[in-house]
Amino acid sequence: MKEMYCSLGISEKVYEYGEEVLSTLKGRFQEIDEGAEYHQLKVIDAMRKEHVGEACLYGTTGYGYDDIGRDTLEKVYAELFGGEEALVRPQITCGTHAIALALFSNLRPGDELLSIAGKPYDTLDKVIGLRDEKGSLKEYGISYAETGLTSSGDFDFEAIKKKLNERTRIVWIQRSRGYAVRPTLSAKAVGRAADLIHSLRPDVAVMVDNCYCEFVERAEPLSLGADLIAGSLIKNPGGGLAPIGGYLVGKRVLVENAANRLTAPGLGKEVGASLEVLRSLYQGLFFAPTVTASALKGAIFASKLYEGLKVEAFPLADEPRYDIIQSLVFRKSEALIAFCRGIQAASPVDSFVRPEPSPMPGYEHEVIMAAGAFISGSSIELSADGPLREPYSAYFQGGLTFPHAKLGILNSLEYLYREGLVVL
């Protein structure tokens, strides 16, 4: 094995340090494998219950009336995530679109959206109208309020009570932290918040940005009290095979509102041809538990490997995980750049591409990105990025298989090692 890694450019020292780190992670990896097993059984159970048949794998064209594959897939998602109804569509273009759909369809002029885990993901600024944009919620007369987490990373229930008012219609909870510095929220924490909010205001819907959290924990937010979850199919639930799509699952009325907004009032879920993607959406969902487990193992391996080299890791290798994101604080731009280049060079696609920091729309600083993915922009595949600013943190995620994640992480360290940015 060592020879194999060496022939791929990993030096003996890096390989041996990696093996030493891995030997300490056996117990943790076993837990993750058990989680994958649990979710694999759940996925198969849902597919059996909903009678997924061969006919479901073929798509429709045109209006997409009576698309049995699309309708059955939505039943599978509803069953799996514990909701009454689901909307799982290639016409939902990405995670931001799924979230925007949930919000626009369930808020009316005069309503207020209350985010209780601080400022949502950057791409939602213009959806909400925090930065001016045509067609934002703000333009429709929908206001926005926010409470942050406490210093211990919990919801600030006192502040939430104060901010809830007669106009509040949706309480929004983003679980994964995006580029913010805060812990990811567990399904249990979301459930506790939902219970409190419902006890104060039964008419308020608790909606959850579930991006990167699917299949990480055994519990999912809907079974603990949330009303709607939303996410992207080119993250965890697409299993790396879904080429496009987003999902919403939750209370019937909330999902029906979203369907009427995605298509048109009166058409709702009845239209929307699935074209050629259904087989990938089903097969991707089938693979999603083990793919998510591979990504989790990669994240834990990376944190342990770099922790040992005095790079700050969030979360730490031994901490509980509620999403697949790992951040590593390099403190030096050269180290962040070398890390991303090492990840890129270990990719199955575009391994020969050398990432360079460059300006990005919506970002103040240059950003460097590593992504050698089969599906463009897919972040369930091994990928990393980071803004070129203090403290030079890399955000790292994905890995369809653990051997690929392992190679990518070892190669990132190889690049740092060769440039003298770490000492082994």
Residues near ligand PLP (CB under 6 A) are 94-96, 121, 123, 174, 176, 178, 209, 211-212, 232
Contact partners, residue 68, CB within 8 Å, separation at least 6: 55, 56
Rounded CA separation 321/184 (Å): 8
Residue in the shown chain whose Cβ atom is closest to ligand PLP:
95
Tell me the C-alpha to C-alpha distance, in Å, between residue 421 and each of 127, 220, 332, 364, 418: 40, 41, 9, 26, 8
Q: How many CB atoms lie within 10 A of CB 30?
A: 10
Q: What is the smallest separation between the CB atom of 422 and ligand PLP, expressed in angstroms?
A: 28
Rounded CA separation 343/217 (Å): 26
Nearest CB to ligand PLP, comparing residues 118 and 308: 118
Nearest CB to ligand PLP, comparing residues 155 and 415: 155
Look at the block and give the residue holding tokens 């603990």.
224
Instruction: Judge residue 220's burial from the number of C-beta atoms within 10 Å of its C-beta, 0-12 exposed, 13-18 middle, 19 or more buried.
Output: buried
Rounded CA separation 341/330 (Å): 14
Q: What is the smallest separation between the CB atom of 113 and ligand PLP, expressed in angstroms?
A: 15
Nearest CB to ligand PLP, comparing residues 117 and 313: 117
Q: What is the smallest separation between the CB atom of 178 and ligand PLP, expressed in angstroms?
A: 5
Rounded CA separation 366/130 (Å): 22
Contact partners, residue 103, CB within 8 Å, separation at least 6: 113, 127, 128, 137, 170, 172, 207
Nearest CB to ligand PLP, comparing residues 234 and 410: 234
Q: What is the smallest separation between the CB atom of 359 and ligand PLP, expressed in angstroms?
A: 18
Structure tokens at 403: 């051997």
Nearest CB to ligand PLP, comparing residues 94 and 130: 94
Q: What is the smallest separation between the CB atom of 246 and ligand PLP, expressed in angstroms?
A: 7
Q: What is the smallest separation between the CB atom of 184 and ligand PLP, expressed in angstroms?
A: 9
Nearest CB to ligand PLP, comparing residues 212 and 339: 212
Question: Is the CB of residue 141 less than 8 Å from the CB of residue 109?
Answer: yes
The β-bridge partners of 371 are 383
Nearest CB to ligand PLP, comparing residues 143 and 232: 232
Q: What is the smallest separation between the CB atom of 127 and ligand PLP, expressed in angstroms?
A: 10
Rounded CA separation 11/414 (Å): 7
The number of CA neighbours under 13 Å toward the Cβ of 126 is 8
Nearest CB to ligand PLP, comparing residues 47 and 249: 249
Q: What is the smallest separation between the CB atom of 309 and ligand PLP, expressed in angstroms?
A: 27
